[in-house]
Structure 1
Amino acid sequence: MKAYWIAQVDVTDPEQYTEYTQRAPTAFALYGAKFLARGGRSIAMEGRETPQRSVVIEFPSYQHAIDCYNSPEYQQAKAQREGVATAEIIIVEGAPLGEDGV
């Protein structure tokens, strides 16, 4: 079953944040990640204010998603984000598809 990273990110230093965005793709490629949403328009219908960036990343499995986050490649990229952005990241396992594809 597929899994997803759901991230909400607020960037305080866009110039320094590019250090993260240049390094993170290495980890994503190693673990078969596919971006489904990345920084497009969004609106908060409930809960906290809309973050600056909302990101949804699909992985082949729950374990791939966890392994990517814990990988040395991602942890190196994440270190570049410290102090220049705040992020909330959750990993969620996808639902099994029924006979009708839903």
Structure 2
Amino acid sequence: MRKGYWIALVDVTDVDGYKGYIAANKAVFEKFGGRFIIRNGEREVVEGSLRSRVVVIEFRDYQTALTCYRSPEYRAAMALREPYSQGDIVVIEGYEGLPA
């Protein structure tokens, strides 16, 4: 079964206000087995444009990633995020590569 991922590109407009979202999302991601793979590390944009934060969260499968995003728990956390940021999030199925 292929893993599922959230890829989030975010611009935070109020860092202090955004902290409430960060605190709230921890329990949600733990509940659904989400694991941060990328959380705004050093980067260089070599083509195109990018928002100020890049986050990738891994889930055991695509359906779990979607279920987490659509859950009432995440919707409550999202309400804490929205006044303090703009962003783009995609939920995507992972690639396992070609069989050997």
Identity %: 41
Aligned length in residues: 99
SS at match of 2:51: coil
What TM-score comes out, normalization by structure 2 length? 0.91
Residue 97 of structure 1: CA displacement? 3.9
| Worse-matched range after superposition: 38-47 or 77-86 | 38-47
Question: What 5-or-longer segments of structure 1 have no aligned partner?
Answer: none
The separation in 1 between residues aligned to 2:43 and 2:68, in whole angstroms, is 26
Contact 1:42 1:54 in 2 (8 A): no
What is aligned with 2:63? Answer: 63
RMSD between aligned residues: 1.2
What is aligned with 1:44? Answer: 45
What is aligned with 1:89? Answer: 89
What TM-score comes out, normalization by structure 1 length? 0.89
Quick check: 1:32 aligned with 2:28? Answer: no
The separation in 1 between residues aligned to 2:16 and 2:68, in whole angstroms, is 24
Residue 80 of structure 1: CA displacement? 0.6
